[in-house]
Chains A and B, each alone.
Chain A
Amino acid sequence: MIAPVKLLTETASQTAGPYLHIGLAPQYAGITTFKTLFGSVLTDANTRGERIRIEARIFDGLNTPVLDGLIELWQANAGGRYRHPGDRQNKALDESFTGYGRACFDTEAGIYAFDTIKPGTVCGRLGDHMAPHVNLWIVARGINIGLHTRMYFADEAPANAADPVLRSIEWEIRRQTLIAPRQERDGKAIYSFDIHLQGETETVFFDL
């Protein structure tokens, strides 16, 4: 008799709830337990690459800003290399860049801001090239399972047009929900990324 291959079942997700700051970003809850914090500034003086600021906002189905959530960010370095042993591209690591950050809102406008560098191009699944992008994961009260999305850069139009993940989104108009416009403010590049949980302009969320 042939037995079917049996996998364990993944543990069920539950909402992070309204008090997620206590555990994931204790600096926002006034808790000083930990020496290392996972913050929203990913650069130091030695980090290589163009300094950018990503200003994300999250809107609910009534277009009200979501203020109590948390966004995690994971990205490649300026040369397009992830700091992880699974990335075997022949590209240099940057010892001053982990590529990982977390942000909570820091103003009443509900802006989740990351100070980081613009990532380089990463090899795609089929040996092609992915346009520069950052990977985002969103949790909040009312979100039952963390939402995965990506942010691409509006000033990379040719690369975006060729990006295999963007192109896999059947509805061209929906690809636009992942592309953040660029502006200069006080000499610094700002990318504004509005995440819409519902509605006409609902952001594309991925099943990874």
Chain B
Amino acid sequence: MKKHSSFGEFVPRDLNVHPATYTPKYRFSELRSPRRSLIPLASTLSEITGPTFDQVTFERADNDLILNGAHDGLPLGERIVIHGYVLDQWGRAVPDALVEIWQANASGRYRHKKDQYLAPLDPNFGGSGRTLTDAEGHYRFRTIRPGAYPVGLDWRPAHIHFSISGSGWAQRLITQMYFEGDPLIRSCPIVGTIPTSAQIDRLIAVQDEAQFVTMDSRAYRFDIVLRGRRATWFENTQGDDT
């Protein structure tokens, strides 16, 4: 296991930069949102620690969604690279973070039994990928640009779901990444749960021409910020060995 010098407690979370639990325009939140206030919990070992992924076996195509669901050909759609950095609130890299993504295919259909949209499945596309960030906090996926799809009378903009497990339990985050220039972003009820336009903008990947792969793929850049740790941990829980 890697040695780290400091695993301090986390900077308190600013809940005002996240969606509220109950957001009436996203109606599925109505019955699934706690109505009482969250109880503040001062960090203990349970919150500053968290799962590590050094024993996970990664396959070569785990972060390549163009290949990892292919059977007798390649998936249909626009080939793209999604890459970026996982940083903490101090701007420092978060290495060895587990980044997991899932998405619809180019037609806007998920490989999931609950998805009844009439657009077809692609026999060569699964829609899930995973990777660990490197020492600089960088991650990279290759995939197909997902399609938009309807939910009731609304449309979801093209998006990719991101799950990030950083170095501590209290950093755990799930979010969604959108694509620069998509006019569906501004009318989406789920995007609309986010309280400020600046926070919405941070979920929109921008085209990154410097990373285009010649005769192969366009590229998008999406950076993620996790909660930062304070520099020092408090005395008494250093444990018996200090």
Q: Are A90 and B45 neighbours in the complex by a CB distance under 8 Å?
A: no
Is B147 among interface residues, defined by CB-CB distance under 8 A? no
* A29, A130, A133: residue with the most chain B Cβ atoms closer than 10 Å: A29
Q: B34-59: which residues lie under 8 A (CB-CB) from chain A? A: 34-36, 38-52, 55-59
Interface residues as binary, B12-38 with A (CB distance below 8 Å gives 1, 0 otherwise): 111101111101001011111111101
CB of B190 within 8 Å of the partner chain: yes
| A14 in contact with B202 given A22-B102, A198-B31 (CB within 8 Å) | no
How many pairs of A and B residues are in contact by the CB < 8 Å rule? Answer: 301
Interface centre among B101, B169, B236, by most chain A C-beta atoms within 10 angstroms, is B169
Q: What residue in chain B is nearest A9 (Cβ atoms)?
A: B17
A208 touching B236, Cβ below 8 Å = no
Say whether A202 contacts B35, CB under 8 Å.
Answer: yes
Q: What's the minimum C-beta distance from A94 to chain B, rounded to whole angstroms?
A: 13
Q: Known interface pairs A8-B87, A143-B32, A147-B34. Does A14 touch B43 (Cβ–Cβ under 8 Å)?
A: no
B-contacting residues, A57-90, CB 8 Å: 60-62, 64, 66, 68, 72, 74, 76, 82-90
- With A22-B102, A127-B237 in contact, do A145 and B128 touch (Cβ < 8 Å)? no
Q: Are A10 and B62 in contact (CB under 8 A)?
A: no
| Set B33, B88, B161: member contacting A143, Cβ < 8 A | B33
Q: Is A44 an interface residue (CB 8 A)?
A: no
B interface, size bucket: 35 or more
Closest residue of A by beta carbon distance from B100:
A23
**Known contacts A11-B175, A84-B52; A206/B40 CB under 8 A:** yes
Tell me if A125 is interfacial: C-beta within 8 Å of chain B.
yes
- Say yes or no: A145 contacts B239, CB within 8 Å: no
The answer to whether A35 and B59 have CB atoms under 8 Å apart is: yes
B204 to A: closest C-beta gap in Å:
11
Inter-chain contact A85/B36, CB cutoff 8 Å = no
User: Nearest chain B CB to A21's CB is how many angstroms away?
Assistant: 7
With A10-B226, A98-B55, A140-B32 as given contacts, are A208 and B13 in contact (CB-CB < 8 Å)? yes
Contact between chains at B239 and A90 (CB < 8 Å): yes
- Tell me the complex Cα distance, A36–B233, Å: 33
Residue of B nearest to A7 (CB): B89
Q: How far is the CA of A125 from the CA of B30 in the complex (A)?
A: 35
Distance from A185 Cβ to chain B, minimum over Cβ atoms (Å): 28
Say yes or no for A181: interface residue by CB 8 A criterion: no
Residues of chain A contacted by B150 (CB below 8 angstroms): none
Q: Name the distance in Å between B140's Cβ and chain A's nearest Cβ.
A: 17
Question: Nearest Cβ distance between residue A19 and chain B, in whole angstroms?
Answer: 4
- Residues of A near B39 (CB, < 8 A) are 168-169, 204-207
Cβ of B3 and Cβ of A85 under 8 Å apart?
A: yes
Looking at the complex, which one of B50, B57, B91, B239 makes contact with A74 (CB distance below 8 Å)? Answer: B50
Contact of A145 among B18, B26, B129 (CB under 8 A): B18
Contact A197 to B169, CB < 8 A, known contacts A10-B227, A68-B114, A123-B239: no
In chain B, what residue has the closest Cβ to A119?
Answer: B46
Q: How far is the CB of A168 from chain B (nearest CB, A)?
A: 7
Residues of B within 8 A of A100 (CB): 51
A197 to B38: give the CA distance in the assembly, Å. 12
Report yes or no: A146 in contact with B56, Cβ–Cβ below 8 A. no
Partner of A23, one of B113, B128, B234, B240: B128
Give chain B nearest CB distance to A131 CB in angstroms: 11
Question: Knowing A74-B50, A197-B31 touch, does A144 contact B21 (C-beta < 8 A)?
Answer: yes
B237:A18 contact, CB within 8 angstroms: no
Contacting pair A144 B31 (CB below 8 A)? no
For A19, list chain B residues within 8 Å (CB): 102, 110, 112, 114-115, 161
Is A161 among interface residues, defined by CB-CB distance under 8 A?
A: no
Q: Which residues of A contact B49 (CB under 8 A)?
A: 74, 82-84, 86-87
8 closest residue pairs by CB, A with B: A23-B102, A86-B7, A127-B236, A142-B28, A84-B49, A142-B32, A100-B51, A90-B240
Chain A interface (Cβ within 8 Å of chain B)? Answer: 7-24, 26, 29-31, 33-36, 60-62, 64, 66, 68, 72, 74, 76, 82-91, 98-100, 122-127, 130, 133, 135, 137, 139-148, 150, 165, 168-169, 197-198, 202-208
